[in-house]
Chain A
Amino acid sequence: KQEVTQIPAALSVPEGENLVLNCSFTDSAIYNLQWFRQDPGKGLTSLLLIQSSQREQTSGRLNASLDKSSGRSTLYIAASQPGDSATYLCAVDMDSSYKLIFGSGTRLLVRP
């Protein structure tokens, strides 16, 4: 059974710092992996989607990498801003089946 783990559970950094969020999964036979952002009381917003054949994806200050063989993905946020404060969730799709398996998330606080 696929298990997705995110470390750390919470992170507090000063504004301007570069940071890395980690996601690991136990079964490397994934179809794709997504990173989502969740603001309090809001739904999930998709940030980056990495197909299993890809190694990384970039969007603005965000860069996500995928190492299928080691069962790991990282989300790199450059020059963090207070507006980046949110919970970041990673989710894997095993077979393009629609059923996402989520980690528990990392709660990020960027202090002004």
Chain B
Amino acid sequence: GAGVSQSPRYKVAKRGQDVALRCDPISGHVSLFWYQQALGQGPEFLTYFQNEAQLDKSGLPSDRFFAERPEGSVSTLKIQRTQQEDSAVYLCASSLNSDDYTFGSGTRLTVV
């Protein structure tokens, strides 16, 4: 597609529920990134993939967060046993090189 597509756009989860957020990067983009943006804050790095390899997951807040990109294209960010502090916008970005990022519109997760 023309841009990075994320789904769903909005997700309301009850505390303790598991959620899965999807990212469709631009076709051919090798690199894929996940960021978490809390209300009124800048995005914070979560994890980075180069093709199917997860090269850095140092930003994942806890072991409840898990990301995968099994075929080197679509990626899924999974959050288990959601908690209120997980409420944020989750942004996905892809790039062909390290300077040229295209961000998706994000998934707004609200945990109630």
Categorize the interface residue count of chain B: 20 to 34
B residues less than 8 Å from A4 (CB atoms): 42
Question: Are A89's CB and B98's CB within 8 A?
Answer: no
Contacting residue for B42 out of A45, A96, A103, CB 8 A = A103
Contacting residue for B41 out of A42, A46, A104, CB 8 A = A104
Report A26-53 CB contacts with B as 1/0, cut-off 8 Å.
0000001000000001111110010000
User: What are 30 A-B pairs with beta-carbon distances under 8 A?
Assistant: A32-B99, A42-B105, A42-B106, A43-B4, A43-B91, A43-B102, A43-B104, A43-B105, A44-B43, A44-B93, A45-B103, A46-B100, A49-B99, A91-B42, A93-B99, A96-B99, A98-B56, A98-B95, A98-B98, A99-B45, A100-B35, A100-B43, A100-B45, A101-B45, A102-B42, A102-B44, A103-B42, A104-B41, A104-B42, A105-B41
A97 within 8 A of B: yes
A residues less than 8 Å from B42 (CB atoms): 4, 89, 91, 102-105
CB distance from A86 to the nearest CB of B (A): 14
Interface centre among A32, A41, A49 (most CB of B within 10 A): A41
B40 within 8 A of A: yes
Question: Are A99's CB and B104's CB within 8 A?
Answer: no
